[in-house]
Amino acid sequence: MTKTKTKFFCQECGYESPKWMGKCPGCQAWNSFVEERVASSKNPFFDTEGNSTKETAASIIEIKGSQEQRIMTDIGELNRVLGGGLVPGSLILVGGDPGIGKSTLLLQVSHSLAKSGLKVLYVSGEESARQTKLRADRLNALSPNIFVLCETNMEHIEESIEAVQPDFMVIDSIQTVYHPLISSAPGSVSQVRECTGKFMRMAKGKGIATVLVGHVTKEGAIAGPRLLEHMVDCVLYFEGERHHSYRLLRAVKNRFGSTNEMGIFEMSEVGLREVDNPSELFLSERPIGVSGSAVAASMEGTRPVLVEIQALVSPTNFPTPRRMSTGIDHNRLSLIIAVLEKRMGMVLQHQDVFVNVAGGVRLDEPAVDLAVAISIASSFRDKSTGPFDAVFGEIGLTGEVRGVSRAEQRIKEAQKLGFKKVIMPEKSMKGWTPPAGIEVISIATVTEALNAALN
């Protein structure tokens, strides 16, 4: 007979320990260990029969390469983020805050694939079949090729997969699925690891494109061990403010495409609608003739996006001024403020500085540095920038403006939206000719940029 004993697992990284520890040696997380019962016999829970094959080493030249045939959906923004559509046999993890629209998006994707004749299995562990049907009625996502299963038992889900033989499968959510042979609770490290492993083997073996929905923690990361993200082929984050109608879909891991792409959707009464021109969305409420505002030309993957950078500089009576940023890295903001103080002579030691990216989007590209500096200087000097000016460029510690990539695409996007002037790095002017109808000002330092933008 098998003996059961207890072990402790880190909920963040899956580190295993025979006793409880306050700090995980693997990921350095505090109070992340939970106790789970395991069996001492050899591999009692993880059934690997028929799932492993003996392979022999082969020269990489002799291996036959093949181009993966992707499955295209009617949702172009999703195809962009995935790198050109769904790959058969891929395992995708989608995370996001509760109520952000994950189930809505996946039901719309299921309907899009079902219309093309593919079989779809939608496994819901959190809602009943009636609730799923009500959402499908609201989204007009009804098709005889969509099969709904309300089940959390892994063995029963496997039986349904064998019966339906789907081409696309959704598991909503992976934290609710459990294997009956494992005594720990659903969502624990053992359950998530084993159930994800089984879904991975079924996806690869049967060629089923599988999407797992994951819960998120208070910090916004996908709940459960990081092992879950390592096992899947693609990790998508569905972001957005619940008080705004738009949603952002980002890829943080993608074995079949780029991780720099971003898909933008707008939530409506009939589901998620694609936003073809996100620049118009982010600039729709931009004030004209107000100090502390600048338009940055940023790149999200292969797509140029124009966003508004807002800054507010106000005196403070406290010895330590506040530095707050929303949408850009706080450390990057501190660096830009230090450059303005040292190289431009701005006295910001007694000024609170608040920077916000309008629209709630987060920008990680260094090319928005120049727009942040100009917006801060505009608020500090109380001078407004031109209503039809766009800027981009990376700022160095010596006050120089470094070149950035894809300058021509940024300028064409600005021209398409009616901008008349673009301030950009001089280093990015090589190898191409600016288009007619828009003024391009090349600068080499932050001083030149401020003179061109605020005079």
Binding-site residues for ATP: 96-103
Please check whether residue 126 is in contact with residue 132, taking contact to mean a CB–CB distance below 8 angstroms. Answer: no
Tokens of 94: 């989608």
Rg (CA), the chain: 26
Quote the tokens at residue 270: 């009939």
Determine the residue type at 349: Q
Dump the DSSP string for 282-337: HTTT--SS-TTEEEEEEEETTEEEEEEEEEEEEE-SSSS--EEEESS-HHHHHHHH
Q: Are strands 16-17 and 4-10 parallel, antiparallel or unpaired?
A: antiparallel
In DSSP notation, 133-167 reads HHHHHHHT---TTEEEE---BHHHHHHHHHHH--S
In 189-200, which positions are buried (b, 16+ CB within 10 angstroms) versus exposed (e)?
bbbbbbbbbbbb
Beta strand pairing status for 146-149 and 120-124?
A: parallel
Cα 342 to its chain centre, rounded Å, is 35
Q: Which residue has the tokens 């880190």?
A: 10
For residue 271, give the 3-state DSSP assignment: strand
Query: Of how many residues is the chain composed?
Result: 455
- What is the distance between the alpha carbons of residues 312 and 108, in angstroms, rounded to a whole number? 41
From the list 207, 212, 209, the residue with the least C-alpha distance to 195 is 212
Quote the CA–CA distance of 142 and 259 in Å, as a whole number.
32
Q: Which among 247, 292, 451 is positioned nearest to 382, based on CA atoms?
A: 292
**Binding region:** 96-103
Helix (H, G, I), strand (E, B) or coil at 58: coil
SS3 103: helix
